Amino acid sequence: MKFTKLVINNFMRFKGENTIQFSCDDDKNVTVVLGDNTVGKTTLAQAIRWVLYGEIISTQYEGNKDVTILNNDVLGNMTANDYAEVKVELDFEQEKNNSVNAYRIVRLATYARKFPQMTTRQISEKLKMYIKDGNTGSEIPYDNTGKDEGKVDELISEFLPKQLSSYFLFDGERWNDSKTTKADIRDSIYNLVGISPIRQMKYHLGEHGTRGSLSVIKRLEGKKSGVSEEYGRIEKEIEALYKKIEQNNKEIEDNKENAKHFWEKADEKQALLDSNPNVEQDQKEYKRLEGEISACTKRMESFYADIVDKFSGSYTYFAAPLMQEIVDMLDGVDLKGVDLPGVTNKTIETILSNHKCLCGHDIADGSPEEEALLKLKKLVPPAVIGTIVGNFKGKLAKWSADSADMYETIKNKADSFQSESDDKYDNEEQLAIKERKIDRKINFEVERRKLNEYKSKAREYDQAVTHAEGLNQSHEIRIKTLEEQKSTLEDKSEQNARLDVYIEYAKQLYEKACDIYGKKEGTLLNDLNAIIEKNFKEMFKEQEKYAKLDEDYVLRLYYKKISNSGDLSTTEATVLSEGEKIARNFAFIVSILELANNMKADNEDAEVLPLVLDGPFSKLSDVNTAKVASVMPKVAEQVIVFMLDKDWEPSGLGDFTDKKYMYRVSKNIDENSSSITHNTEA
């Protein structure tokens, strides 16, 4: 397949119609478009993507959401209720059965500026394809609507699978890992190398649906009739079991992916821990020291608080030498009186003034009761201070007892405080030593906890897989039993006999397709990886690294290591620089093309795609630019490159480029638009 022409009209940076003719020469098979940054080279690659898939990719300048692909100058000149069109046409040719068919894909978007809002919006988009037969010259149109609904998209997917668009539409400046599924990549590779037809035949005959429940073979078997209602009941039960198996298979696939994800994450954590065993132990000791320092600090604060509390009653301690002298002095004074607890001179005066005793008895003036109270008044405080002195002596005795152990208590607390202070100082010194030894940015306790969490989740998913597989085995055993029962209930009719012949014929075709497919698929991955390794080594003169497409159809980069004993081992490079990503994917791109070329000679169905590259060398050195550029024209039937002027000389692509297929993108001085012209500086 070769692109022959690109026509763009009012698409993004390009105002009006601009055309590029692509070189289809076998020797000088390179078309080059030169230009500075931001003038519109990437827009040309976007135009190819848009006409094929109706989308553009995000760039460092703009995202793909709500992007108006209508040229800004055209947009600015639109008036109320005005209309404008964006049109991109991509022409290509393909050789089939010694005849070259021509194809035109046209995508047209219409914009309108409606009154009174005066906002411009896309109101429609149309996709058409025209196929011109190389033998008859007749052209068949498809418009992707009505009876042709989805037909153009389907044809584009066959010719230029979107799943591989990140590779044949290669964006070197902003390339990132494809978000398509591994199955999409695998299927697209099969399509390119020409084994998809036999794979589709195999699938159609015996594998469509769960366990082939929707395949030709199963549908033929489903047309056979039975002799009783039991036959129909068995068919329904079998169908229900197939649906359960299909649901379980989906769960198995999802759970396997999840288990693999968590086992890989667990392996990463285990590798981190295994490579830092001493650091992990140091971090445990570091955490212990931190805890001990915190505990010392709290104990010191407690001892200090106790000392302060004890000193708050220190007046009793310092008054202790005077206490005994006071007691001796009081003991030498006559303090006789009546000790009636709570009864004072004031109490008796109150009773006399009220003329009533506390018990309620009346006290008359001049009565014996009044005389007794007056006599008692002379014997109680403050007339007699015996009670007060007695209370004071009791308090002095308590003070003496409390202050007796104050010194020992404060001394013990102070000693404990100093001991904790010394321990804290020692721990802080050890902590400082540990801190200098370890990298605290990695918390190994957290990492080990994550490791255990990942392992636990992975085991849960593995158990779910085992459970679902066990259910499927039970369902399959039941289906086999039901099929045997069903066969005994089949009608011995002429129609069933014919169906048996058709079924046997379909089974033999299916077995033959499986045999052919198995032989081709069996060597595909090995052949492709051999070419990838060869090209990676040739393009980048690399001995220690190699790229590989693994069995899960993920492209990875590996390092080769030789141990002290001379053993060779490999380690996956999980963190890649932009340069390494580009190198890895360049190797994959050219290798796919080379494999398709190799298979083209033996297989008419193999397909070689054009290679479209936008800024492919921007992150490569001049040396690597020359190495990569020298390989591309040899393995690809056609190379289209949008590149900076600075990369032209180092690339050496001049040997593969006819001057009439050299173009330049430049920005118009008076407008914000760009235009395409032939490069006159070559």
pLDDT band at 211 (very low <50, low <70, confident <90, very high): low
Provide mean pLDDT across the span 570-583: 76
Q: What is the mean pLDDT of the chain?
A: 80
In total, the chain counts a number of residues equal to 682
pLDDT band at 10 (very low <50, low <70, confident <90, very high): very high
CA dist 639 and 627 (Å) reads 15
CA dist 42 and 619 (Å) reads 16
CA dist 644 and 631 (Å) reads 19
**Residue 422 pLDDT exceeds 80:** yes
Phi, psi of 563 (to 5 degrees): -75, 175
Q: Are 632 and 24 in contact (CB under 8 A)?
A: no
Supply the pLDDT for residue 320: 60
Phi, psi of 339 (to 5 degrees): -100, 90
Cα 59 vs. chain centroid, distance in angstroms? 20
Question: Which tens digits make up the pLDDT trace of 347-406?
Answer: 888 888 888 887 888 888 888 888 888 877 776 665 455 555 666 666 666 666 666 677
**Residue 332 pLDDT exceeds 60:** no
Supply the pLDDT for residue 12: 92
With DSSP H G I counted as helix, E B as strand and the rest as coil, what are the percentages for the chain, rounded to 5? 55, 20, 25
Residues 6 or more apart whose Cβ sits within 8 Å of residue 459: none
Inter-axis angle of helices 494-540 and 578-600, to 10 degrees? 130
CA dist 614 and 679 (Å) reads 18
How does DSSP assign 2-68, residue by residue? EEEEEEEESBTTB-SEEEEEPP--SSS-EEEEE--TTSSHHHHHHHHHHHHHS-----SS--STT--
Structure-token pair, residue 268 = 């990463």
Which H or E run includes 102? strand 99-114
Q: Are 637 and 2 in contact (CB under 8 A)?
A: yes
Q: How many CB atoms neighbour CB 42 within 10 A? A: 25
Supply the pLDDT for residue 175: 43
Judging by DSSP bridges, how do beta strands 82-96 and 30-34 pair with one another?
unpaired
Instruction: Using alpha carbons, select from 6, 80, 84 the residue that is nearest to residue 46.
Output: 6
Edge-to-edge strand order for the sheet containing 555-562? 545-549, 555-562, 568-572
pLDDT top residue among 146 and 71: 71
Provide mean pLDDT across the span 612-632: 82
Supply the pLDDT for residue 176: 43
Judging by DSSP bridges, how do beta strands 99-114 and 82-96 pair with one another?
antiparallel
Q: How many CA atoms within 13 Å lie on the side-chain side of 632?
A: 35
pLDDT band at 502 (very low <50, low <70, confident <90, very high): confident
Instruction: Using alpha carbons, select from 32, 57, 175 the residue that is nearest to residue 619.
Output: 175
pLDDT band at 335 (very low <50, low <70, confident <90, very high): low
